[in-house]
């Protein structure tokens, strides 16, 4: 994997995190909601954990433990990156056959409602599913979604 693909994986994870519909109906089916919630928590909390781990050793003048504190700080700072990496991998993964047929059904239902959509993908990925789920939750009424949720 080239360096550029490596960095795009993180960007794809950020985009996927923003596009995934965080809905209670999807929580038992997909792990994305838990990963997104954990990643957002890590973004806000882990920088403080990293700083506190190093400053604590400095305040107590335990300079022998600073290398371990630095390793702990680097691990804490890597947690959001791990979430973005997982989400980036997941967004580019092709849907299993059962979810692909669900994607096509939702796409057809939205198209029947009169919404202009891009053509359904032959081999959809999770990021296409996220887009179609967002549109379904926005456009279709609760009765139309009742079959799936």
Q: Output the pLDDT for position 118.
A: 86
- Gap between the Cα atoms of 20 and 87, Å rounded: 10
Q: Where exactly are the structural domains of the chain?
A: 1-92, 94-149
Q: What is the pLDDT of residues 1-14, one digit of tens each?
A: 666 788 899 999 99
| Intervals of the chain under pLDDT 70 | 1-3, 141-149
Query: What is the structure's pLDDT at 1?
Result: 63
DSSP labels for 64-107?
GGHHHHHHHHHHHHHHHHHHHHHHHHHHTSBPPHHHHHHHHHHH
| Angle between helical axes of 3-19 and 126-139 (0-180°, round to 10) | 20
Q: Which two tokens stand for residue 36?
A: 């997104």
- At residue 74, the pLDDT reads 97
Among 105, 87, 95, residue whose Cα is nearest residue 149: 105
């Amino acid at each position: 994997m080239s360096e550029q693909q490596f960095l795009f994986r993180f960007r794809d994870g950020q985009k996927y995190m923003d596009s995934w519909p965080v809905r209670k109906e999807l929580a038992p089916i997909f792990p994305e909601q838990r990963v997104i919630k954990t990643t957002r928590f890590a973004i806000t909390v882990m920088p403080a954990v990293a700083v506190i781990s190093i400053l604590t050793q400095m305040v107590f003048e335990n300079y022998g433990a600073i290398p371990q504190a630095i390793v702990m700080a680097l691990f804490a700072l890597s947690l959001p990156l791990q979430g973005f990496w997982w989400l980036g991998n997941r967004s580019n993964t092709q849907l299993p056959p059962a979810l692909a047929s669900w994607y096509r059904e939702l796409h057809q239902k939205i198209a029947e409602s009169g919404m202009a959509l891009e053509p359904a993908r032959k081999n959809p990925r999770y990021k296409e599913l996220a887009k179609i789920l967002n549109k379904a939750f926005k456009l279709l009424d609760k009765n139309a979604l009742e079959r799936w949720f």
